[in-house]
């Protein structure tokens, strides 16, 4: 048992970022289900099951893409991962980020630390561009977070989604990873 003077109880405690394991998936599912059911930040409408998330997580992990969780006070408070942006081969150096933080843990640096770590890990791999596909043009939290981490506005798809009885825009943001487009990709990966 820890005392309330233990630094781990401090609200300013930095989140611990680590690679997600199978055991984290129920917590990831609970966080994501909230956003599926209550917000337009994702265009999914039915929360995926833990088994479905396991299938997705396994595929990303097998492709060498990072899938991270953030712990606050010993609990999973958020997660972040990179996935292929689109499946056609010429997109192979472009990935899409996703970041979700439990509502009770907002504005404690969890999203920023997760996304910053994801960018760093992806920049160390073969990928050269990261795209954010942000559901809802009114999603100030996600738009500002991405701006803070070097993403620029790349476009807005108007009324690309329909959820909760209204049309929803999709905001595209983008940033380079590592040398971006200034050099050719690794010859082995051409
Ligand atoms: C977007 C989200 C991940 C941010 O996570 P978070 O842990 O609350 O963010 P942080 O505390 O790390 O904030 C980092 C910076 O982002 C910006 N920011 C975060 N939330 C914000 C908000 N609601 N309004 C304005 N700026 C915000 C601020 O610049 C903030 O820095 P500051 O607190 O020093 O001002 C979180 O709000 C979330 O899960 N939203 C719903 C899901 C979602 O939209 N995910 C993105 C899908 S692409």
pLDDT tens digit sequence for 44-57: 999 999 999 999 99
Nearest Cα to Cα of residue 117 among 97, 91, 147, 139? 97
Alpha-carbon 133 to chain mean position: 10
User: Which atom of ligand 1 is nearest to 146's Cα?
Assistant: 16
CA distances from 105 to 10, 62, 79 (A): 13, 30, 12
78 CA from centroid of ligand 1 (Å): 11
**Per-residue pLDDT reduced to its tens digit, 11-46:** 558 999 999 999 999 999 999 999 999 999 999 999
Entry pTM: 0.93
Alpha-carbon 100 to chain mean position: 6
The CATH H-level superfamily of 16-188 is Gcn5-related N-acetyltransferase (GNAT) (3.40.630.30)
Top pLDDT among 125 and 13 is at 125
Cβ within 8 Å of residue 51, ≥6 positions away: none
Cβ within 8 Å of residue 126, ≥6 positions away: 92, 93, 185, 186, 189
88 CA from centroid of ligand 1 (Å): 31
The mean pLDDT of 94-105, rounded to a whole number, is 98
Nearest Cα to Cα of residue 124 among 61, 182, 70, 64? 64
pLDDT reported for residue 187: 52
Check pocket membership of 142 for ligand 1, CB cut-off 6 A: yes
Check pocket membership of 38 for ligand 1, CB cut-off 6 A: no
pLDDT reported for residue 13: 83
pLDDT reported for residue 9: 44
- Residue of 71, 143, 145 with the most ligand 1 atoms within 8 Å of its CB, for mutation: 145
Domain limits, the chain: 16-188
């Amino acid at each position: 048992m820890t005392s309330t003077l233990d630094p781990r109880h401090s609200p300013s405690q930095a989140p611990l970022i680590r690679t997600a394991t199978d055991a984290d998936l129920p917590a990831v599912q609970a966080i994501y289900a909230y956003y599926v059911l209550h917000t337009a930040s994702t265009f999914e409408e039915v929360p995926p099951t833990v088994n479905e998330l396991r299938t997705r997580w396994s595929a990303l992990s097998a492709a060498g893409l990072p899938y991270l969780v953030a712990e606050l006070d010993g609990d999973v408070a958020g997660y972040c991962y990179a996935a292929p942006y689109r499946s056609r081969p010429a997109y192979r150096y472009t990935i899409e980020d996703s970041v979700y933080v439990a509502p009770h843990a907002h504005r404690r640096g969890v999203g920023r630390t997760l996304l910053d770590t994801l960018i760093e890990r992806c920049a160390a791999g073969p990928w050269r561009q990261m795209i954010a596909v942000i559901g809802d043009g009114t999603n100030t939290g996600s738009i500002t977070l991405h701006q803070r981490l070097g993403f620029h506005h790349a476009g807005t798809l108007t009324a690309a989604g329909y959820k909760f009885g209204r049309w929803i825009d999709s905001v595209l943001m983008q940033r380079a990873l590592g040398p971006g487009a200034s050099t050719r990709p690794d010859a082995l990966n051409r």
